[in-house]
Amino acid sequence: MKTAISLPLLLVLGVLIWLPTAVCADAVDSAVTNLEHTWAHVTYELPKTAQDAAYTALEAQAAELGAHYPQRAEPKVWQAIILSTHAGEHGGLGALSMAKQARDLLLQAGKISPDVLHGSIYTTLGSLYCQVPGWPLGFGNKDKARALLQQALRINPDGIDPNYFYGDCLSRNDDRTAALAALDKALAAPPRPDQPLADKGRREQVRKLIQTLQSSH
């Protein structure tokens, strides 16, 4: 004998099936936001002497989040951002190892969701390819860096990060005029209400690079 299932019951069952997925998504988003804010605190507020240990701890948090949610790109992207920032502060052979790990994480994230986080995969990969030494020491490639950063700008043309890193990369290639144009655009980027500390710190980096370029002319 077949039992009829009412429409309200079907709707309830549908909500119960959907709910764990929504809760999971909210948990990941909340954890990623926490990574963003902690990274900004470590990068722009902590003294240099405290950053190494803080970055290491934050990398572990991001790795744990990525292990729990392997099909989400955001934890991988943020682990890569933390690693690449840490590499820039650390220097030496250890920095190259961090940069390679960051690159690999970004490539993995790109297979899941290439345009996630407003093109942050392309922005971070581009900055890595621009700053890391080329062969035989590293994987740096200025042409690839420029192409990746231009892709980031196609996704997020007015963003502070892609314009800053594009300007930085152009300055490293001695393209001063184009670098200053990109940096001016970075300064004009609309504020991100959820990332005030990151915006403040990045704007200071933009101003310093502009001053360096102007004083070297």
CA atoms within 13 Å, Cβ hemisphere of 27: 10
Residues 6+ apart with CB under 8 A from 131: 88, 99, 140, 172
| Residues 42, 61 contacting (CB under 8 angstroms) | no
| Residues 152, 128 contacting (CB under 8 angstroms) | no
| Residues 156, 119 contacting (CB under 8 angstroms) | yes
Domain membership flag for residue 178? yes
Q: How confident is the model at residue 24 (pLDDT cuts 50, 70, 90)?
A: low
| Residues 135, 94 contacting (CB under 8 angstroms) | no
| Residues 70, 110 contacting (CB under 8 angstroms) | no
Domain membership flag for residue 181? yes
In whole angstroms, give the CA distance from residue 59 to residue 35: 9
Of the chain, the percentage scoring pLDDT greater than 90 comes to 83
pLDDT digits (tens, 9 = 90+) for 156-185: 999 999 999 999 999 999 999 999 999 999
Domain membership flag for residue 14? no
| Residues 132, 138 contacting (CB under 8 angstroms) | yes
Query: Into how many domains does the chain fold?
Result: 1
- Whole-number average pLDDT of the chain: 90
Q: Select from 183, 85, 172 the least CA-distant residue to 134.
A: 172
What pLDDT, on the 0 to 100 scale, is given for residue 9? 42
Domain membership flag for residue 69? yes
Domain membership flag for residue 75? yes
Summarize the confidence of residues 38-61 as an average pLDDT. Answer: 96
CATH number of the CATH domain containing 82? 1.25.40.10
Sort 4 into a burial class: Cβ within 10 Å, 0-12 / 13-18 / 19+: exposed
Domain membership flag for residue 15? no
Domain membership flag for residue 91? yes
Q: Select from 152, 151, 156, 146 the least CA-distant residue to 190.
A: 156
Domain membership flag for residue 10? no
pLDDT digits (tens, 9 = 90+) for 112-147: 999 999 999 999 999 999 999 999 889 999 999 999
Amino acid identity at 17: I
- Domain hosting 38: range is 33-189+196-215
Q: How confident is the model at residue 74 (pLDDT cuts 50, 70, 90)?
A: very high
